[in-house]
Structure 1
Amino acid sequence: CKYCPGLLWCWGTSMSITISIFPVQQARDPIRTLSILSYPHSLHKVKVGVLTVCCVTHHLFNFYMDKVFKHCKTEDSYINRKISSIANSFLSVKRKLEQCHEQNKCMCGQESTEKFKQILVNYEGLNVTSAAIKSLGELDILLDWMEKSG
């Protein structure tokens, strides 16, 4: 990617994250009436462009690091280790994206900002623990979007 070489690495990493989330999905919250990342303000409705994808990905990786992983604790130590592994993968990608963002190669337009604000509204509509578990259960939506957008 000419705008952000780290972004290609990000997409390559999504495969290992996908493998890691399989057992975690079994522990996700059963809330079916609300989706944090999808309909009606779906990531899949974001107009795909390199800068838009970079911006939304940057926001979402910060979101997962700052809000989701901090509040995802279960009774199962195996699941907690898997969550920790995913968080470490996200941290590596987040660092690459921050380099692009700092070099102004990852500019955010109005659509990107609005989509991310809607995700925050969806997240904040639940209590902290439920929202974190729900977001973790929706990692497949994020990774699918990244794969289709890359």
Structure 2
Amino acid sequence: MGEGLEVYLASAALVGKGIHELDRLWQFELLYLAAQSVAMNPGLYRAVEHPGGLTLREINCTSTPRRWRNAAGLVDLIVGVKHPHVPRMVGTPNGDVALLGIVLLHPKESAYIEWGGPDAGSVIAQRLEALPPELVNNPRRKPVVSG
């Protein structure tokens, strides 16, 4: 059961891929690294009780498309973004498990969260949730903030 939460990354790029193809996709590498970060930081659930409550910063996902990496070549993620087809919680014989969507942040979105005050993460999460689900983790997605 662990902490009672699991992360997922929704992406059309994963649809129809075989298990042996997944490890070659940047989306899968990003999900793996996010899961490791969450596993190494117990008690994170309180930080993600509201969308935008947690940003994982400076993850070294070398396969992520260049325009999504910062000047140091690292990426940021926002945790807890809702997906319309994934429940927030699932029951298991050992208790409830929270399902937390992760979304790759564009450097402009990361800067907005860093400098935008306490509600900036929630603003980004809401804008991402308003997008069609197939666009959220699409590498061609435009940032949800300007600047």
Pairwise TM-score range, normalised by the shorter structure: under 0.3
Q: Higher relative contact order at CA 8 Å, sep ≥6: structure 1 or structure 2?
A: 1
Structure whose residues are more often strand by fraction: 2
Q: TM-score, normalised by structure 1?
A: 0.27
Structure whose residues are more often helix by fraction: 1
Q: TM-score, normalised by structure 2?
A: 0.28
